[in-house]
Amino acid sequence: MGKLDGKITIVTGATSGIGRRTVEIFVEEGAKVVATGRREELGRSLESALGKDKCIFVTADATKEADVKAMIDACVAKWGRLDCLFNNAGGPAPVGGIETVPVEGFDAAMATLVRSVMLGMKHAAPIMMKQGSGSIINNGSVAARRAGYSTSMIYGAAKAAVNHLTVCAAMQLGEKSVRCNSISPGGIATGIFAKALGLSPDKADTYAQAMKAGMAKNQPIPRAGIVDDIARAAVFLASDDSSFINGHDLVVDGGMVGGRMWTPHQEGVNAMRKAFGVDEA
């Protein structure tokens, strides 16, 4: 038996990276999935690979209310209910200092990262409240918790808004037995970093594998995060195993935001001992 047997789910931003892998693993765990995104060719390839009895693709821009409503309507029309929505769609934000931020870029990033989450919750919530059950999962970031953990300060601010909006919604929806939680990834090897630096989405996705060696040094666990790490966390929050978890931000980062790394810290301590002429204990 799968952990999501019988669950009807939606995953946004499903054409690549975390979203695509989450769709695949949701299906492996027994869910039926509406996968959404803007790149139709990639979405149709996912639908074809998994089979339309398990996954249908709906072309949708998560920043547009009409598209979001249409994707949720398509899910209910196809399978009659909605048990989990993973608001995963995202993208890069302007880089550079605060004095260089273009207003248009700021507004676009907030639409992609925050408005999309709000719209997904807005249109999923009435269905789930009527059912008296459901799980909403929003994709946050460790950049919401610590400044300097993204190439863009605007990205960090937007993800902080996502994490807090999640908690605010959880306080309302929990009264109807609908759970709302977020996942905050650390350094996950996807194309989003290359996208942030200006590469096109198709080219950026090809750099994910090459980034792993560098990213392995960013946290105590000595490997880069992979999309499966986030997909598996989403499975947990979508499943009945997390039925008493609400308003929580699940950090999946190998310990990145836990504090100072042990070995560099100890090297610094030993350097001070030497400078002070103190023998090691």
- Rounded mean pLDDT, 261-280: 87
The pTM for the full model equals 0.91
Q: Which domains does the chain have, with CATH numbers?
A: 8-276 (3.40.50.720)
Q: What is the DSSP string of 118-151?
A: HHHHHHHHHHHHHHT-EEEEEE--GGGTSTTSSS
pLDDT at 216: 84
Query: Alpha-carbon distance 135 to 178, whole Å?
Result: 6
pLDDT at 209: 72
Q: Which residues are catalytic?
A: 155
- Rounded mean pLDDT, 114-134: 98
pLDDT at 170: 98
pLDDT in tens, 78-95: 999 999 999 999 999 999
